[in-house]
C-alpha cells in the first residue's frame, strides 16, 4: 500500500473539488441557494470571528452534520444548497469538500486561502 502525506491528500483534493477565490466566494455570500460553512476549530473562530452568516461546523463533525441519517444532522445541509467551505488556509476545506463530494453532495466548493483571504477581500466578520 502506498502511503500519502497530508500534502499529498490536499493536492489530490484540490484536483477534484472546485476552488473559489475569496472574491468569487463573497459574490455568492447571501444568495439564498448558498451556505457558507466555517470548518475551523472552535478556538480559531473565537479568536478571529467568522464570516457573517456562515454556519460553523468543526471539520471533525462535518460528515455527521451533513448526513441526513445522523442524529446530529443540521437542516441547513438538507436543502440541496451550494456549500462553500472555508478554513484557516484552504487545506482542511479542500479535504472536507472532497469528502462531501464522495458523500454525494453535488454543489460543494472551498475557498482558496481560507478565512484570511476572505477577510482581506472584505468579508463582513462577526465575533461569536
- Express each pLDDT in 52-94 by its tens digit: 999 999 999 999 999 999 999 998 887 789 999 999 999 999 9
Residue 110 binned pLDDT confidence (cut-offs 50, 70, 90): very high
Is the pLDDT confidence value at 24 over 90?
yes
Closest-CA residue to 96 (of 23, 5, 14): 14
With the C-alpha atoms ordered 21, 101, 90, 29, is the resulting torsion angle positive or negative? positive
Is the pLDDT confidence value at 127 over 90?
yes
User: Which structural domains are found in the chain, ordered by start?
Assistant: 6-126 (3.40.250.10)
Residue 2 binned pLDDT confidence (cut-offs 50, 70, 90): confident
Amino acid at each position: 500500500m502506498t502511503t500519502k502525506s497530508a500534502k499529498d491528500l490536499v493536492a489530490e483534493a484540490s484536483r477534484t473539488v472546485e476552488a473559489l477565490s475569496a472574491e468569487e466566494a463573497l459574490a455568492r455570500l447571501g444568495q439564498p441557494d448558498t451556505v457558507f460553512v466555517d470548518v475551523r476549530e472552535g478556538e480559531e473562530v473565537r479568536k478571529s470571528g467568522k464570516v457573517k452568516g456562515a454556519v460553523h461546523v468543526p471539520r471533525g463533525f462535518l460528515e455527521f452534520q451533513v448526513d441526513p441519517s445522523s442524529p446530529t444532522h443540521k437542516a441547513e445541509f438538507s436543502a440541496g444548497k451550494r456549500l462553500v467551505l472555508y478554513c484557516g488556509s484552504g487545506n482542511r476545506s479542500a479535504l472536507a469538500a472532497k469528502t462531501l463530494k464522495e458523500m454525494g453532495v453535488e454543489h460543494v466548493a472551498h475557498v482558496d486561502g481560507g478565512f484570511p483571504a476572505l477577510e482581506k477581500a472584505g468579508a463582513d466578520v462577526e465575533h461569536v
